[in-house]
Amino acid sequence: MTSTTTPPASRFNSVYIGLGAALVILAIVILSGIITTKRLGNAVQLQARTNDVRLNVESATANVRAAESAIRGFVAAGDSHFLDEFDGARDSLQLVLHGIRRLTTDNVSQQQRLSRLDDDVRVRFAYLDSTKALRIAGATAEAAGAIRLGSESLVRERIYQTLGEIESNAQQLLTARTASVAAEIRRSKWINLAGVLASAVLVLLSVIMFRSEATRRRRAKQRLESSEERLRDFLDSASDLIQSSNADGNLIYVNRSLLNTLGYTSDEVIGRSSEMFFAPECVADGRVLFERLLQGEHVTDIDTIYVRKDGRRVNVAGSSNCRFEDGRPVATRTILRDATRQREVDQMKDEFVSIVSHELRTPLTSIRGALGLLANGMLGEVGDRGKRMLDVAISNTDRLVRLINDILDVERIESGSVPMSRQRIRLSEIERHVDGLMRPLAERANVNLSIATGDIDLNADEDRIVQMLTNLISNAIKFSPPGTTVSVTAAREGEDVHLRIVDEGRGIPADMLETVFARFQQVDASDAREKGGSGLGLAISRGIVEQHGGRIWVESELDRGSTFHVLLPALPELAIPSPLILGDIASSEGPLVLVCDDDADVRTV
């Protein structure tokens, strides 16, 4: 019994021959593809040029009509805005005609039409200019008559007819060139067929090299499995609670931290619905969350309650998204953290705020009152040295009271528990109130204060707007050098009123333009000692503005000053009631009745 085997040299010779044949076929395919691509590119370029001619003709027609409409509008209304539209349409028309001329340089018939069109356009626009001159001179009737005659002008009709001929010729060329592109596409199909043949040769070569490729893939698979194992170990060692579910909502992976937190084993949860983790009252919210993930939303606001195996509740918060393949949801990936401790801290914070409100502010108020009585001599004369000490005590007590009030304001604003008594208020009234409060502070700091807001109405809580403005203005005065000016202006911008508080202070670094609105934030750590303040004023101001549906931000340049911008919704101005005509009343008989109402219809009734 004999066996025959192909020598290694013969195998390699076959590989070389097959590879050489494949390279020759590929070279032919590539060369043919280059030629076809070039031809197709030329045909597509011609097609695009012809289509551009059609688009420019449409634009030219629109510009002619726009110019005529603008002149008609100007003659009818006399508004100079129509003249701007007329000039713009004329300029645009010239550009469009120039573009058509450039695109059709190789088309003699189109060039002849364009020459005829230029003459007609020149005559037509001269007529429109004369009509415009009549209206400017005040001859409205003559201008209107010229418009009516111009609508029946033969020149006008020739313009539209010539444009139609240019577009028709372009459409014919476009049809022919589209057919040329289709022919090139058919030719490319044959090239693709050659590519298929070349691919068959390459497949044959791939079969010959199968063993080496299989070995390489096996090793790559081993490396991938090793990498996945390392990733799984990494996820299991993470402190975050990580889980993954399939498109049906069944758990396919849960890391060790989540299992330890909830007291389950992997076998107890894998394959079961992820709803098993939710507290009963949170199951419905969990289903809504899962639907949001399947719709492709990246959810970052997860805040729910899980239940341990032993029944204890765990607050969790985090984010989740869904992985898609070919447009279909494959798996959700959720990363959570145990927020139970955070909830306890929040509860402690609320208790602290309650203590500050009831147990600290009340005795401080009593202390402040007692110190005031002592300082005013109501309980007997106090020496100069004692008065100085009382002034220090009163100053620091007031500072503590302000700090406590600021903390309470911040907490109430963030929790949305600040009652807003909104009503129609006028900025000029606010201006007088704020000026009276801030003028003494500005004079002590030798800073000029300029407030000019005007008569603009807002639907706002007057006390909160005053609080916001005094916070911003006092902050500007505090950081302004002596002799400089702090100005406050207001202007209506559409449906909003835009307040600007401008100072000439040292400015705010660019990287702190947003953080200055956070609680207890100062531009410089020494500011709290040198300038005073709790670092809560801007946080309170932002909360007040946002509760009014507005926006606040700051622009600043170092050593040049800062500008705080406040955008608040404005109210429409009230209609001015018709004046009372005393002569009519005096001439009437019978008893005199005074009717007061801002609604004209009610007064009439």
pLDDT tens per residue, range 262-296: 999 989 999 999 889 999 999 998 999 899 999 98
Alpha carbon 141 to chain centroid, angstroms: 51
- SS3 at position 271: coil
Instruction: Say if residue 152's pLDDT is above 70.
Output: no
Instruction: Say if residue 463's pLDDT is above 60.
Output: yes
Element (H, E) at 487: strand 485-493
The chain-wide mean pLDDT, for the chain, equals 79
pLDDT tens per residue, range 56-99: 888 888 888 888 888 888 888 888 888 888 888 888 888 888 88
Cα distance between residue 593 and residue 605, in whole Å: 13
Question: Helical H runs in 78-153?
Answer: 81-103, 108-136, 140-151
Residue with the two structure tokens 């097609």: 47
422-426, 561-565, 579-583, range with the lowest pLDDT? 579-583
Fill in the amino acid letter for 398: D
212-216, 239-243, 273-277, 488-492, range with the lowest pLDDT? 212-216
The pLDDT assigned to 381 comes to 77
pTM for the whole structure: 0.41
pLDDT-based confidence at 599, cuts 50/70/90?
A: low
360 DSSP assignment: I
CB 40 within 8 A of CB 184: yes
Number of residues in the chain: 605
**DSSP letter string, 225-262:** HHHHHHHHHHHHH-SSEEEEEETTSBEEEE-HHHHHHH
CA-atom Rg of the chain in angstroms: 41
Read off φ and ψ for residue 306, nearest 5 degrees. Answer: -100, 160
pLDDT tens per residue, range 334-367: 999 888 777 777 677 666 666 666 667 677 777 8
Per-residue pLDDT, averaged over 317-328, amounts to: 90
Read off φ and ψ for residue 114, nearest 5 degrees. Answer: -65, -40
SS3 content of the chain, % helix, strand, coil (to 5): 65, 15, 20
Nearest Cα to Cα of residue 11 among 189, 202, 208, 191: 208
How many Cβ atoms are within 10 Å of 179's Cβ, its own excluded? Answer: 11
Alpha carbon 199 to chain centroid, angstroms: 50
496 DSSP assignment: E
